[in-house]
Amino acid sequence: MNSLPRLGPVLARSIPFGLYIAFLAAGPWFAPHFPDARWIYALQIGAVAAALGLLLPQFGELRCSLRNALDDWPAALLVGVAIFILWINLDQAWASLGDPTGYDPRDATGAIDWRLALLRVVGAALVVPLMEELFWRSCIMRWIERADFLGLPPGKVGWRGLIISSTLFGSEHSLWLAGIVAGLVYGWLYMRRGNLWTAVIAHGVTNFLLGIWVLYTGNWQFW
């Protein structure tokens, strides 16, 4: 896969996230053109994954750190499980934006279409965490503290960057309070460990557990 020309650090980390949001915004327009609008998610995740792949050489914070993050798996696992538990318990009406219907992978008979279910789990557990952690934690959280954020070690990020970025992160989720808490914890983990992959893995664990729980309980609104 060919890489893209060298882009500015903010732009490079914003493109995958921007594509994801663009698909959400364009969903009502796309839906009438699809026999089953739920498959739009395949295009959405595919576009984001392609952008991440093309831009990967420009993400220096991901180089040579995955092995260290795997060595630090207990912290990532613990955080991921903790946020999952918090997420499914912070769904009170006052802590929600609107009344989300979520992603329901069932067919007309009520049986789960496992192609849709697997697509959702893989997208949420593998693609979304990398996209969001690059944008929110590596970029926005550090950029709030310093414009040339690539030169700012995660451990030097102050409370301002952590709180503002986490609040913005929460605002993109229907469960805004759960989103803020998750943002604070993922951000703290990145600051504490200094390795973005640790936050990515924790985020992936949360989303994977959430997906399994949703499929088991049928609480589609959490998707």
Structure tokens, 122: 């893989």
Give 181-214 pLDDT, tens digit per residue: 999 999 999 999 999 999 999 999 999 999 999 9
The pLDDT tens digits of the residues spanning 88-128 come to: 999 999 999 987 889 999 999 999 999 999 999 999 999 99
pLDDT of res. 31:
86
Please tell me the distance from the alpha carbon of residue 137 to that of residue 201, in angstroms, as a whole number.
13
Do 210 and 103 touch, CB atoms closer than 8 A?
no
Which pLDDT value is given to residue 30? 84
Q: What is the pLDDT of residue 100?
A: 80
Every domain of the chain and the residues it spans: 65-222
From CA 112, how far away is CA 212, in angstroms rounded? 13
pTM score, whole prediction: 0.94
- At 96, phi and psi to the nearest 5? -125, 150
Does residue 27 register a pLDDT over 80? yes
pLDDT at residue 2 greater than cutoff 70: no
Q: Are 129 and 204 in contact (CB under 8 A)?
A: yes
Other CB atoms within a 10 A radius of the CB of residue 120 amount to 23
